[in-house]
């Protein structure tokens, strides 16, 4: 640890439960199984919403599991020491979460038939969401202002590095049979259709009332009140005791309330430069 991050291969990671040695161990030794379901994202893309939906799909809409087991135990965060320990010898199908960029990820995933879901979100909303989350967190460098965090974000000096590199890396898997790209925006716009798409990808069939229960129990309001999913259990340790909320607004386009006109222009320019050669259908918000 040096400046509020742990650095591994030139990329900043959180300081709690991460070490470079451990990151190397995960990269070299974690073995994926064909039955695994892997949620991948850049932080603040709606990762925990997707985990809640997956938990409910596999429970056929029964909320018992999401109401009794913390979200980080249901789909542990692979690159943390805690997550790796709980996952590596676990029997049966596993839910696994990761924010690691593709070039530092365990190679075994590319040989397995594990179902991989990459969640993407407008990076402007990720930036704003990240700013409000990291200022109430105690495990990454805290920005002093949104202006400062804006600079860090476009330079890639935030937890897990550059959003642009992250999506370029992972979306190169587009088209593989076991790889699904889903956006926060499509989840928000038509949650029912997005959940049906997930079910199809996962080979799961839900009855209409089971689907309704998935939608109800993964809704923003219900998740915000579920202490197994709203991260209030970590208050006073990884999160500030009284400030802010993990489930903050849960909307698309909130960046418009925070970016100045100049920041919006700078971001547009960088976005265009860095994504010009990528399939534009990856970015449904543009
Ligand atoms: N059920 C839900 N519906 C909509 N957004 C949700 C949600 N659960 C979490 N989110 C949003 O997802 C973001 C967190 O993402 P992650 O899980 O990757 O850290 C937060 O965004 P905001 O800060 O914009 O509200 C949070 O509010
Ligand atoms: C407090 C542990 C925690 C919770 C949620 C996080 O968000 S994200 O998964 O990185 O987007 C990070 C850490």
Cβ neighbours of residue 69 under 8 Å, at least 6 residues apart? 228
Q: What is the DSSP string of 205-272?
A: ---HHHHHHHHHHTSHHHHHH-TTTSSGGGBTTTB-SSS--SS----S-GGGGT--HHHHHHHHHHHH
**Cα 78 vs. chain centroid, distance in angstroms?**
12
99 is catalytic: yes
Pocket of ligand 1 (CB under 6 A): 41, 43-49, 125, 129, 132, 218-220, 223, 247-250, 254
Pick from 18, 41, 48, 74 the residue to mutate for probing ligand 2's pocket: most ligand atoms within 8 Å of its CB.
Answer: 48
Pocket of ligand 2 (CB under 6 A): 43-44, 47, 99, 231, 234, 238-239
Residue 46 three-state SS:
coil
Distances (CA, A) of 275 to 104, 164, 265, 286: 21, 8, 15, 11
**DSSP helix, strand, coil percent of the chain (3-state; round to 5):** 50, 10, 40
State the CATH architecture for 6-282. 3-Layer(aba) Sandwich (3.40)
Q: Domain map of the chain by residue range?
A: 6-282
ipTM tops the 0.90 cut: yes
Looking at all shown ligands, the one closest to residue 16's CA atom is: 2
In order along the chain (286 residues), what is the average pLDDT of each group of 10 residues? 85 95 96 97 98 98 98 98 96 95 97 98 98 94 97 98 98 97 98 98 98 98 97 90 90 98 98 97 94
pLDDT at 2 (0 to 100): 56
Pick from 45, 49, 239 the residue to mutate for probing ligand 1's pocket: most ligand atoms within 8 Å of its CB.
Answer: 49
Q: Are 115 and 36 in contact (CB under 8 A)?
A: yes
């Amino acid at each position: 640890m040096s400046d509020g991050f742990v650095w591994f291969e030139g990329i900043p990671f959180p300081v709690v439960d991460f070490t470079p040695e451990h990151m190397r161990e995960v990269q070299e030794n974690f073995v994926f199984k064909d039955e695994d379901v892997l949620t991948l994202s850049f932080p603040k893309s709606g990762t925990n919403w997707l985990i809640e939906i997956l938990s409910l799909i596999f429970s056929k809409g029964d909320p018992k599991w999401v109401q009794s087991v913390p979200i980080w135990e249901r789909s542990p965060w692979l690159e943390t020491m805690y997550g790796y320990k709980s996952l590596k010898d676990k029997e049966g199908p596993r839910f696994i979460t990761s924010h690691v960029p593709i070039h530092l990820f365990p190679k075994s995933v590319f040989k397995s038939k594990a179902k991989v879901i990459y969640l993407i979100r407008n990076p402007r909303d990720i930036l704003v969401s990240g700013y409000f989350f990291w200022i109430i967190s105690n495990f990454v460098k805290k920005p002093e202002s949104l202006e400062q965090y804006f600079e860090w974000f476009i330079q890639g000096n935030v937890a897990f590095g550059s959003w642009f590199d992250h999506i370029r890396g992972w979306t190169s898997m587009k088209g593989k049979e076991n790889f699904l790209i889903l956006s926060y925006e499509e989840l928000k716009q038509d949650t029912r259709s997005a959940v049906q798409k997930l079910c199809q990808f996962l080979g799961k069939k839900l009855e209409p009332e089971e689907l309704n229960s998935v939608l109800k129990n993964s809704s923003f309001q219900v998740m915000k009140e579920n202490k197994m999913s709203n991260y209030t259990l970590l208050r006073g340790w990884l999160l500030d005791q009284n400030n802010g909320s993990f489930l903050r607004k849960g909307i698309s386009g909130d960046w418009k309330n925070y970016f100045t006109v100049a920041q919006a222009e700078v971001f547009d320019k960088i976005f265009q430069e860095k994504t010009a050669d990528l399939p534009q259908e990856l970015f449904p918000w543009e």
